[in-house]
Structure 1
Amino acid sequence: MLVFSWFLVTLLLVASSWAKEEVATTEEDTYRELSVGELLERANRDRTHDFNEPALIGGDIAIKLEADRNADPCTSRGCLWQKWSDGKVYIPYFIANHYSSREMSIIIRGLESFSSISCIRFRPYQDGDYEWLSIESRNGCYSYVGRQGGGQTVSLDRQGCLYHSTVQHELLHAMGFNHEQTRSDRDNHIRVYWENIIDGMAYNFDKINTLNQGTPYDYNSVMQYERYAFSKNNRPTMVPIPDSNVSFGQATQMSKNDIDRLNRLYDC
């Protein structure tokens, strides 16, 4: 009888553990299915600006000066990371120690994903490096656009930013890329419904002189936000043209065009 009771308790504990694991897996799968734009909006939704954090435009692009709000620093002053004599672009990074081992693995996977498709090589920070990416869990998900000089923050908040797509998205910002929906040729491919945008956030859709690198507009870019981005009334803020039924803004990783323009920008 004692053996049977022990077996029954063990069976109940195992079943409970399986149930918890299944719930956790289901929740993780639910979040994983969200597009990068949805993940970024969710993570930055309740972000409050303070003096320790940069102002953001476009939802997740950090700026230093208000003058940068309507300008692309990569076309106005240059922003490329240095290319070495072996043809590689080595970018030092430092990851803050407040991440768990699982969270670290997500970040590292995102960093390493650039090596197989480009000449970009992220490597750990070393003494003497004068410019690097400082990856930290700060208030939301954000990055500056292009090389800034010195240590520049890439914020990957532990609460909502640690997904492969969001890591790639913020790293592409750091490499010099803006959002797809701000491309100079946007109006040929996307109609913006300004009346549906959250009050005070219309600037997130301003067109700028982006680094398109001769690649076509890409609805599947990891830099393209989704149909209801920054909507105040659950109505679309963006609709593709001429075919409004085209799926867009659903990327969960870099597209072929994302990779092509990265390689063209850095002459890989």
Structure 2
Amino acid sequence: MERFLRCIWTITLVVQIYGRIVYKPNPESALDDTSLALNLNATFLEGDIFGIDAPSDTNGIFGKNGVVDDTLKWKSLVIPFAFSKTFQNEPDRMQLVLDAMDVFQKATCLTFVQRTTEMQYLQILADPMRCYSNFGKQEPNPKGQRVGLSLNLCFEDGKSGIAQHEIMHAIGFYHEQSRLDRDEYVDINWSNIPEDKKDQFQKYTNTTAFGETYDFNSVLHYGMYDFAIDRTVWTIRPKEKYKDRKIGQRDGLSATDIRKINKMYNCTKLPTTTPTPSGPSDPKFDTPHRGCYYSLAGESRPGNGKFTAGDLDMTLCTYIIVAFGSIKNGRLTIGSDLSATLEKLKASRDNSNPNLKIFLSVGGSADSATISTIARNASKSHAYARAAALQLRSSGLDGLDIMYQHKAGLEPAKFFSFIQELQRAFAIESYETDSVRLAISLVVFSDPTLTGSINAKGLDPLVDIVNVAAYDFAGTDRKSIGHPLQRRWALLECHNFITWNPF
């Protein structure tokens, strides 16, 4: 285990070193912060967006909770930046801003480069009093467009989340609670907000959020006490049915933040490494992912049990598990029938839900015993995992699902080691091909009455999705629907622990 963790840590370190943004300070050309200072009477939209008036439906830049006017987008996907003299004398704070930019670079198709002669660029300055940013890409200016970051106020606990928040404004996003649908999710305590600050809680008309549901966890969401007259009393909070949700985090981009950036900028290929979100972002589900299960056996069933690729509504899912691939001679194998079905599913996905991820499942009643045999031998586990990564990638799939029906005699520790070997092989393949890491999904049967049932919670840190299942007996409906097994299984619960985040 220690050796495995050390290997993964080394891979991650290499990616960070080669992906890190390098900035070479040049005090002679750096602008003095006093020349960049704002007028004391400067006004801010939503508290920290500078240089833009209140929104209207006629000025062409509103309509989503991100910019819709192409002239305000960084269409080249390259964002030049420079640090003020004060920042260049604060290497630790400067590095935190570079770390913030590095997150965008790894999770989206945006690139940050040190400014040379560009007239449209981000000018990072050390404002003495507040954190703020211009909105979207501004007109050419030799002094650039400001991103003000107070050295004392904008780097809480040595984190770069506030810098990410302001960069989100600079690339064209408003705060999450400004969405048209926000009153379905949060309450506003108007009595605790000063009259001259109530406009900071306005919501926009005709706003959508790039097809994403409300994100309590967004780095762009107000905190509970923002603009409060009485700082002990909330100004904004989740509604009662969402009372367990936290708002106002400044740890970093959420999964939904990342998806919205990639939608706004039409990012089609994501880099290898994406940040791990600090929590769920979809208020309608316990996780932001919704799984569908497709069984190849359904295509040959009679009567109402028959099911084909054309019957699946792809828009219902964020990922689909297709069963089953097989294991031949210790290697993952995709038969011709399954290959044809996968091609149909991929074509349907491309037409209706291009972001859908397709996982191939192995195991079940046919190959669980084979998995046990492989898991007992370290060299076989290594060979299987490495070959599976290559097979999945060449087939255009996004991950591997293992539906493991536990066979008596396999120690749980052996199964855990097998999963660790898969995780390591997928991480290495991702690094070698500069591709988003293949996912690992599990269906495990945790009924305590089954001999040696797998501890699903213990698998949480090792995989991306755990489906916990239990057996029940198919009654008289078994013959009428053409189910070939004496017993059928049903998914009871699905957890996504989001160590993998390509969505």
Matched, 1:62 2:50: yes
Q: Does 1:229 align with 2:226?
A: yes
Is residue 2:74 matched to residue 1:74? no
Gaps of 5+ in 2: 1-36, 63-67, 268-503
Specify whether residues 192 and 168 from structure 1 end up closer, same or farther in structure 2 by C-alpha distance, changes over 3 A only.
Answer: same
How far does residue 102 in structure 1 lie from its aligned partner after superposition? 0.8
Counterpart in the other structure of 1:212: 209
| Superposition misfits of 4+ residues, deviation over 2 angstroms | 49-54, 70-78
The offset of 1:183, in angstroms, is: 0.9
Q: Secondary structure at the match of 2:247?
A: coil
Q: Which aligned pairs between 1:157-176 and structure 2 lie closer than 5 A?
A: 157-162=150-155, 163-176=159-172
Check 1:142–1:73 CA distance in 2 against 1; reply closer, same or farther (3 A cut): farther
User: 1:180 & 1:125 partners in 2: Cα distance?
Assistant: 30
Deviations 1:14-37 (A, max 9, x none): xxxxxxxxxxxxxxxxxxxxxxxx
User: Could you say which residue in structure 1 is the equivalent of 2:198?
Assistant: 202
- TM (norm. structure 1) is 0.73
Contact 1:74 1:145 in 2 (8 A): no
Which residue of structure 2 lines up, in the alignment, with residue 186 of structure 1? Answer: 182
Name the CA shift for 1:186/1:256 in 2 (closer, same or farther; >3 Å): same
Question: Relative to 1, partners in 2 of residues 1:50 and 1:97: Cα closer, same or farther, differing over 3 Å?
Answer: closer
CA positional deviation for 1:191 = 1.5
Distance in 1 separating the partners of 2:42 and 2:98: 25
Greater RCO (CA < 8 Å, at least 6 residues apart): 1
TM-superposed deviation, 1:160: 1.1
Amino acid paired to 2:261: L
Which of 108, 124, 129 is the equivalent residue of 1:135?
Answer: 124
Aligned to 2:255: 256
- The 1:147/1:53 distance shift into structure 2, 3 A limit, reads farther
- Shift in Å, 1:77: 4.1
Q: SS of 1:98's equivalent?
A: helix
Q: CA 1:103–1:69 in 2, change beyond 3 Å: closer, same or farther? A: same
Q: Distance in 2 between matches of 1:56 and 1:250?
A: 19
How far apart, in 2, do the equivalents of 1:260 and 1:118 lie? 9
Does the Cα contact within 8 Å between 1:191 and 1:239 map onto a contact in 2? yes
Cross-structure match for 2:245: 247
Residue 52 of structure 1, CA deviation: 6.1
Counterpart of 2:326 in structure 1 is none
How far residue 226 of structure 1 moved from its aligned partner, in angstroms, is: 1.6
Instruction: Tell me the residue number matched to 2:113.
Output: 123
Paired residue type of 2:255: K
Q: 1:81 to 1:154 in 2, by over 3 A?
A: same
Residue aligning to 1:15: none
Are residues 52 and 133 of structure 1, via their aligned partners in 2, closer, same or farther at CA, if it must alter by over 3 Å?
A: farther
Deviations 1:170-201 (A, max 9, x none): 00000110111111111111121111113311
Q: Residues of 2 paired with 1:53 and 1:112: CA distance?
A: 34
Change over 3 Å in CA distance of 1:245–1:211 after alignment to 2 = closer
**Cα distance, 1:211 vs structure 2:** 5.8
SS at match of 2:163: helix
Q: TM-score, normalised by structure 2?
A: 0.40
Aligned to 2:303: none
What letter matches 1:247 in structure 2? Answer: R
Q: Structure 1, residues 39-98: CA drift from partner, whole Å, max 9, x if none?
A: xxxxxxxxxx9636742121211124xxx1234873374421123xxxxx1000011121
Deviation readout 1:221-263 (Å, 9 max, x if unpaired) = 0001122221112222112225152222142111000000000
Q: Aligned equivalents of 1:194 and 1:59: distance in 2?
A: 16
Give the whole-Å Cα distance in 1 for the aligned partners of 2:233 and 2:168: 29
What amino acid is the match of 2:247? G
> Do the aligned partners of 2:189 and 2:235 also contact (CA within 8 Å) in 1?
yes
Amino acid in structure 2 at the alignment position of 1:101? P
Assess, with a 3 A threshold, how the Cα gap between structure 1 residues 118 and 77 changes in structure 2: closer, same or farther. closer
Tell me the SS of whatever aligns to 1:187. Answer: helix
1:111 to 2:112 alignment: no
Separation of aligned partners in 2, 1:171 and 1:202 = 24
Is 1:148 aligned with 2:135?
no
Paired position in structure 2 for 1:45: none
CA contact (8 A) 2:224 2:237 kept: yes
Q: Which moved more, 1:136-145 or 1:176-185?
A: 136-145
From the superposition, tell whether residues 50 and 265 of structure 1 become closer, same or farther in structure 2 (CA, over 3 Å): closer
RMSD: 2.1
Contiguous gaps of at least 5 residues in structure 1: 1-48, 84-88
Partner Cα separation in structure 1 for residue 233 and residue 171 of structure 2: 32
